[in-house]
Structure 1
Amino acid sequence: MSLADLVAAVLFSGVIVYAVFGGADFGSGIWDLTAGGDRRGAPLRRRIDASIGPVWEANHVWLVFVIVFGWTAFPAAFAAVLSTCAVPLGLATVGIVLRGAGFAFRKFSADLAQARLFGAVFATSSLITPFFLGTVAGAVASGRVGLDGGDRWSAWTGPTSLLGGTLAVLTVAFTSAALLAADADRAGEAAVADAFRRRALASGLVAGLVAVAGIAPLRADAPTLADGLVGRGLVEVAVSAVAGLSALGALYRRRYRVARVAAIAAVVTVVAGWGFGQYPWFLVDEVTIAEAAAPASTLWALVVTALLALVVVVPLLVWLLRLVDTGTLDSHA
């Protein structure tokens, strides 16, 4: 493995972690949107608040990591992505900001009308943000982002981008529902756990159907990626399918802890499959990882920085997640 490949692997690891934890965060907002009226949806919304309240802001650490790391390690290619996909990235950024504001202000609303308004902002932003991030991934994967830039509209509205956005929404919804069901079961909220179980089963099945239906348009619109997914990325894609089916089976049998692990594994491996399938391209059919990389001195500095983050930041985040998993922070959410 070359130094550039190592740095790219570290960068993509950040993408994977954000897809899991940030995705579960976004998915909770989607279920907030569909929870029901004030009375019927109250138990589900309380569980969402309790589960994501202690950690929701920490999840965006990984997004910051990806942006800083990518910009520094692969400056020209990363700039091409940002400029070509400025519209969806801008909309995703607005969604992240509005989502955070809606989630925070809803707790301090003066009346029910304000709570509904901020809740709607939180939930709607949770839906549109992963969609637009998925369209950016699709733009890169389909080769619509060139080093000199691409069309700022057609680049992210092609079949692969629309498929990527749709799958992103369905995937975060499935992951979140599986995790929320496990949290509710741990807290002794059987009815709430069952409600999220039904949502996880439905969203997981739909995600699987969309993924299968997307094979033909993906092969037509992004042949390089399609070939890579049945080549370098085949093992990861296969493991993702097995993990997804295992998660659905565990949810059906109400084995929530198993379902949670399997759902996370499905997301990790499907995103990893994208990375392996796209290798060695940074911008598909345009620029390879080696060609896009910064000078070796810069890459070594990033490797050292990543090691320091691994030693200092990751243990603290693991501790935070452990506190959430054991329910220690429930009373402070």
Structure 2
Amino acid sequence: MSTTVAVALLAGLVAYAVFGGADFGAGFWDLTAGGPERGRRPRELIEHSIGPVWEANHVWLIFVFVVTWTGFSEAYASIMLTLFVPLTIAALGIVLRGAGFAFRKSVVTLRVRRVFGAGFAASSVLVPFCMGAVAGAIASGRVPAGGRAGDPVSSWVNPTSITVGLLAVAAIAYLSAVYLVWEARGDDDRELEAYFRRRAVVAAVVVAVVGAVGMVVLHADARYVFDGMTGRALPVVVLGVLCGFGALILLVRDAARGARALAMLAVASLVVAWGVAQWPYLLPESLTVTAAAAPSGTLTVLLVNVVLAVVVVLPGFVLLYVLAQRHVLPDEGVPEASDGTGDRTAG
């Protein structure tokens, strides 16, 4: 039963990476879009694409936390005690990002919009980096078992954490760029479609380079996970590489639909490969899934609630995404009416 709960936990991580990660990636492109005039149209597309779903996608993060602290409380305690610094930064970043995105669309002056836009964009990069640093700390065995606290600095400021953090930022930027290619095509905007296609190709190359560097770092700093990546998780790694390469080819050939599906599979494969590579450990070489699991009664109730959540929540998500893709949801915010900016949108 503990294995089933662990699989549900991994599925939640995949969902958050694929859906929430794309939202964070949109913030990366918002950050790098340029000044108010140069970045106006890309930012308009970004706001239009993530506006209906950005809040809902955090449900997956809450799901991950609930399953972890209920099903594997010892691991949860160790992670929180050791990695409270990056997790706190990530939590504050999520709040700042949400406030920036919401208020940027609700104020009318360019100067204030730029302030909120900067908060939204910068937090969109900071949060995935911190999440990746947490994953790197766990993978490299820097989180001790037994509910004990590890070093609050070196646990996440180390080669593996920094590399995985950079990989997380690059991966979500790549995924978001592919999504935005599709959004631009749906709006019949060939200029923006080409704009985000170029960025998706560049991001894909960066992911490949950082991923290759990451394998070298894992070999030196997280040998157990490296052995898992090159052993039992190798088929998943190969699948991810093939999907990423296939998406890259389709992007170059101007086939956005297939590229979007393959990009999702490529990013999902990264997360799944990490889970498979460190199996059967939640905390590599110190705490296994079985040892960390709650009593069977608790796991049974947890699984029942997971099934109920899927039955109740998932249809709502499907409906939300369908309505968003069909562009039938209302736009948010107010038109800009001061500073003489006309229809400008600040970043």
Give TM class, smaller chain: over 0.9
**1:106 and 2:104 aligned:** yes
**1:119 and 2:117 aligned:** yes
| Pairing of 1:147-162 with structure 2 (within 5 A) | 147=145, 148-162=148-162
The structure with higher relative contact order (CA 8 Å, sep 6+) is 2
| Pairing of 1:298-317 with structure 2 (within 5 A) | 298-317=298-317
Write the distance in 1 (CA, Å) between the matches of 2:331 and 2:112.
24
User: Could you say which residue in structure 2 is the equivalent of 1:52?
Assistant: 50
User: Could you say which residue in structure 1 is the equivalent of 2:340?
Assistant: none
User: Could you say which residue in structure 1 is the equivalent of 2:74?
Assistant: 76
Q: How many residues of Structure 1 are paired with residues of Structure 2 in the alignment?
A: 331
**1:264 and 2:264 aligned:** yes
Shift of 1:331: 4.8
- Cα deviation, 1:144-181, whole Å, max 9, x if unaligned, reads 00112211111111111011100000000000000011
Write the distance in 2 (CA, Å) between the matches of 1:253 and 1:54.
30
- Cα deviation, 1:52-85, whole Å, max 9, x if unaligned, reads 0000000000000101110000011111001100
**Helix, strand or coil at the partner of 2:282:** strand
Q: Is the 8 A contact 1:324 1:330 kept in 2?
A: no
Tell me which amino acid in the other structure corresponds to 1:322: V
**Structure 2: 5+ residue stretches without partners:** 334-347
Q: Percent identity?
A: 47
Shift of 1:319: 1.3
**Helix, strand or coil at the partner of 2:155:** helix
Write the distance in 2 (CA, Å) between the matches of 1:280 and 1:149.
22
Could you state the TM-score of these two structures normalised by the residue count of structure 2? Answer: 0.94
What is the CA RMSD across the aligned residues, in angstroms?
1.0
User: Could you say which residue in structure 2 is the equivalent of 1:193?
Assistant: 193
Q: Is the 8 A contact 1:50 1:330 kept in 2?
A: no
Write the distance in 1 (CA, Å) between the matches of 2:263 and 2:68.
27
User: Could you say which residue in structure 2 is the equivalent of 1:163?
Assistant: 163
User: Could you say which residue in structure 2 is the equivalent of 1:287?
Assistant: 287
User: Could you say which residue in structure 2 is the equivalent of 1:140?
Assistant: 138
Larger helix proportion of the pair: 1
Shift of 1:48: 0.3
Shift of 1:311: 1.0
Higher alpha-carbon deviation: 143-152 or 90-99: 143-152
User: Could you say which residue in structure 1 is the equivalent of 2:342?
Assistant: none
Shift of 1:261: 0.5
Tell me which amino acid in the other structure corresponds to 2:179: L
Shift of 1:327: 2.2
User: Could you say which residue in structure 1 is the equivalent of 2:325?
Assistant: 325
Q: Is the 8 A contact 2:70 2:294 kept in 1?
A: yes
User: Could you say which residue in structure 2 is the equivalent of 1:245?
Assistant: 245
- Cα deviation, 1:16-62, whole Å, max 9, x if unaligned, reads 10001110000000100111111111110010000000000000000
Tell me which amino acid in the other structure corresponds to 1:245: F
- Cα deviation, 1:68-115, whole Å, max 9, x if unaligned, reads 110000011111001100000000001000000000010122311001
Write the distance in 2 (CA, Å) between the matches of 1:305 and 1:225.
31
Shift of 1:253: 1.1
Tell me which amino acid in the other structure corresponds to 1:76: E
Tell me which amino acid in the other structure corresponds to 1:68: V
Write the distance in 2 (CA, Å) between the matches of 1:244 and 1:68.
31
- Cα deviation, 1:220-244, whole Å, max 9, x if unaligned, reads 1000000011111111100000000
Write the distance in 1 (CA, Å) between the matches of 2:182 and 2:205.
19
Tell me which amino acid in the other structure corresponds to 1:141: A
Write the distance in 1 (CA, Å) between the matches of 2:314 and 2:119.
31
Moved over 4 A (4+): 330-333
